[in-house]
Amino acid sequence: MNLHNGALTHRAMPVHHTPKPHAGLTLILTRAQLLGVFAGKGLAGIETDGDPELLARLLSYASEPPDKAFPIVTP
C-alpha cells in the first residue's frame, strides 16, 4: 500500500519483493493479517522494516468519521 497525496493505493507484490529504500515502513503480511491490523490487533507475527509509529499515524487518519456532506459528485 502506498499513501501519496491523500490517496491510499494497493499493488500486489511478489512474496520475495525487495521494498523501496525510501519507504518509511514496510510490512510483509497476508490479507488476513492486514485485516487484523486494521481491526486493531497490532503487528504481532508480522514482518516489519522501518518505523512502526508510521502505522499508528496512518490509522489515525482513518479514525475520524467521514464528512457526509462532502460533495463527491457535483453538477
The model's confidence at residue 17, banded by pLDDT at 50, 70 and 90, is low
Q: What angle do CA 62, 64, 49 make, to 5 degrees?
A: 30
**Are 29 and 19 within 8 A, CB to CB?**
no
Question: Between 26 and 12, whose confidence is greater?
Answer: 26
Contact 11, 17 (CB under 8 A): no
- Which residue did the predictor score with more confidence, 62 or 18? 62
pLDDT tens for 35-58 read 898 888 989 999 998 999 988 888
Whole-Å CA distances, 24 to 7, 16, 47, 73, 75: 16, 19, 14, 34, 39
pTM above the 0.75 mark? no
